[in-house]
Amino acid sequence: MDAQLRLPLVDALTEHIKRNPISFHVPGHKYGRIFPNSSGFFQAILQLDATELSGLDDLHAPDGVILEAEDLLTNLFQVKKSYFLVNGSTVGNLAMVMTGCSEDDIVLVQRNCHKSIINALQLAKATPIFIEPEYDPDGKVAAGVEVTTVNEALLLYPQAKAIILTYPNYYGMVYDLKGIIDVAHDRKIPVLVDEAHGAHFIVGGPFPKSAVSLGADIVVQSAHKTLPAMTMGSFLHFNSELLSNHKVKNNLEIFQSSSPSYPIMASLDIARHYLAAYREEDISYLLKKITEFKKQLKDISAIKVVDFHGDPLKITVQSRCRLNGFELQKELELRSIFPELADPNNVLFIFPLLKNGQEYLLEEAAAKIKRVLADLPFMEREVEYVMNEEKISRLAVSYQEMTRLTKKVISIEESAGHISAEQIIPYPPGIPLLLPGERITGQKLAQLQRLVELGARFHGGPFVKQGQIEVFHSYRT
Ligand SMILES: Cc1ncc(COP(=O)(O)O)c(C=O)c1O
């Protein structure tokens, strides 16, 4: 039998349950025997919720079925070492960044990154140099970074210790990652990639190439986002000549729970098996289903299906009617269609990674979407967005200094010259306008005020709606 068709952890758990174990160990629900009756649907999961017992191995020091399951993953991705993560890509990013940089190290960072990357940089007390992404005019969102911008940044900061990128973005858009990896590796600089949305890329075309096959040093993937894995189930792949795997392992021990969830780990075993068993006929079937679904959506005049270079599993539809993206999402949810997210212009659907012959409620979904949008007349929408003028930027205050400063909330109007103590991310296009430690320039202030006037939505910046912003106390120039 093909080794990849094995399920070592799932099999060990199944055998364990068959023994009808009498638990005098954690967790306290005792395989669901001590659990409120009203939650009957929990029982099946609780049966799997074991702990580090004989035969079930230990995630932090694996030498049995967890090691076997991780070895199969390592083998599938053809890397030096793959790890199961039980705390999402969040923990993978923390471990990855803490492995790639230390205090005061200069690191190049794609600016539209997940907050876990920013948090990790702060923990590492590194010195990030931010690289502005390009704006995608069709999707009206921030996309990827250009090789030329990375080259410029490397000329300015040849001492950079790592490059931290996000590939693909939330909408599935990709860019010339290989070009950046080549440039970096020529200078012996490791490339760390948050591939949270691309765990399925390894199945091959028409999916974009995975950061793993493009030669990245460490890659973190949320298996739970696009594969059949439980929420929080993720992978970290180490494949570097420049970094230490020992450090990755140590960081994962620091950041991951000492009581990792067996249902999550077993679902990672299943997700790896699912990927390994994904065949050409599955890809053809999936593409046919995606094309059919998109065709139905393309018939609706109130929306436009956005075409872009990237992941076919991500379907972005843009409003062409009086409703903005958030309102479209609400209307769909009223009819029990739940998209992944909305922004002011778009609604994003994540298509299931179907296998040949597998059915999903696509006809029903398309019919419902048509019904919801049928009476909305076509209307071209104007969109304002903000891009930072600086392609390459850095913090005005180091993370070390930030820990020593106090904060205060002031009016946005008088904030020019102060140092922001919070992250303010306007949507669109999802590029941070301000990060903690960045100076609020006159230009940024004007952008922020314009966005507030327009009623833009922000991630972070809890005071912005009241015309206020949190800044570091003793800094003003
Ligand atoms: C780009 C990116 N990286 C990392 C994460 C964190 O992933 P997780 O939810 O698996 O912790 C997310 C979550 O949405 C994300 O979008």
| Ranges of each domain in the chain | 57-269, 280-373, 395-476
At 56, which helix (H) or strand (E)? none
Residue with tokens 């600086």: 390
d(CA 191, ligand 1 centre) in Å: 18
The chain-wide mean pLDDT, for the chain, equals 93
Strand partners, 459: 425
Cα–Cα distance, 290 to 172 (Å, whole number): 15
Q: List residues near ligand 1 (CB under 6 A).
A: 88-90, 93, 114, 116, 166, 170, 194, 196, 222, 234
Cα–Cα distance, 71 to 84 (Å, whole number): 10
Query: Max Cα separation, the chain?
Result: 70
pLDDT confidence of residue 385: 61
Cα–Cα distance, 62 to 370 (Å, whole number): 51
375 vs 99, which has greater pLDDT?
A: 99
d(CA 222, ligand 1 centre) in Å: 7
Q: Average pLDDT, stretch 276-292?
A: 98
Strand ranges inside 147-280, DSSP E: 162-166, 191-194, 218-221, 234-238
pLDDT digits (tens, 9 = 90+) for 329-382: 999 999 999 999 988 889 999 999 999 999 999 999 999 999 999 988 888 877
Atom of ligand 1 nearest to the CA of 93: 4
Residue 265 scores a pLDDT above 80:
yes
Spatial contact of 49 and 214, defined as CB atoms under 8 Å apart: no
Nearest residue (by CA) to ligand 1, atom 9, is 88
Q: Can you tell me whether residue 109 is helix, strand or coil?
A: strand
Atom of ligand 1 nearest to the CA of 232: 10
Spatial contact of 434 and 443, defined as CB atoms under 8 Å apart: no
d(CA 31, ligand 1 centre) in Å: 30
Non-local CB neighbours of 415 within 8 Å, separated by 6+ positions: 440, 445, 469, 471
Pocket test for ligand 1, best of 117, 119, 218, 222 (most atoms within 8 A of CB): 222
d(CA 466, ligand 1 centre) in Å: 29
Spatial contact of 233 and 267, defined as CB atoms under 8 Å apart: yes
d(CA 116, ligand 1 centre) in Å: 8
Pocket test for ligand 1, best of 87, 93, 114 (most atoms within 8 A of CB): 114
Atom of ligand 1 nearest to the CA of 170: 16
d(CA 199, ligand 1 centre) in Å: 12
Give the predicted TM-score (pTM) of the model.
Answer: 0.95
Pocket test for ligand 1, best of 83, 91, 116 (most atoms within 8 A of CB): 116
Cα–Cα distance, 295 to 200 (Å, whole number): 24
Q: Average pLDDT, stretch 1-5?
A: 90
* CATH number of the structural domain 395-476: 3.90.100.10
At 218, which helix (H) or strand (E)? strand 218-221
Pocket test for ligand 1, best of 84, 87, 89, 197 (most atoms within 8 A of CB): 89
DSSP 132: P
Count of Cβ atoms closer than 10 Å to residue 18 Cβ: 8
d(CA 196, ligand 1 centre) in Å: 6
d(CA 351, ligand 1 centre) in Å: 18
| Paired tokens of 294 | 């998109």
Q: Average pLDDT, stretch 386-407?
A: 89
| Paired tokens of 190 | 């490791």
Average the pLDDT over each of 71-75, 117-121, 235-239, 444-448 and give the range with the smallest value: 444-448
pLDDT band at 142 (very low <50, low <70, confident <90, very high): confident
Give phi and psi for 203, each to the nearest 5: -70, -15
Nearest residue (by CA) to ligand 1, atom 7, is 89
pLDDT digits (tens, 9 = 90+) for 87-96: 999 999 999 9
pLDDT confidence of residue 476: 57
| Paired tokens of 141 | 């969102």
pLDDT digits (tens, 9 = 90+) for 104-118: 999 999 999 998 999
d(CA 229, ligand 1 centre) in Å: 14
pLDDT confidence of residue 431: 74
Q: What's the topology of domain 280-373?
A: Aspartate Aminotransferase, domain 1 (3.90.1150)
One-letter identity of residue 358: Q
Residue 57 scores a pLDDT above 90:
yes
Residue 14, CB-side half-sphere exposure with 13 Å CA sphere: 8
DSSP 37: G
d(CA 321, ligand 1 centre) in Å: 31
d(CA 197, ligand 1 centre) in Å: 8
Spatial contact of 278 and 272, defined as CB atoms under 8 Å apart: no
* Alpha helices by DSSP H, 159-227: 177-186, 223-226
Atom of ligand 1 nearest to the CA of 169: 1
Q: Average pLDDT, stretch 11-30?
A: 97
* CATH number of the structural domain 57-269: 3.40.640.10
Cα–Cα distance, 182 to 122 (Å, whole number): 27
* Selection from 200, 101, 202 nearest residue 157 by Cα: 101
At 110, which helix (H) or strand (E)? strand 106-110
What whole-number percentage of the chain has pLDDT above 90?
80
pLDDT confidence of residue 138: 84
pLDDT band at 429 (very low <50, low <70, confident <90, very high): low
Cα–Cα distance, 79 to 76 (Å, whole number): 8
pLDDT band at 135 (very low <50, low <70, confident <90, very high): confident
pLDDT confidence of residue 173: 96
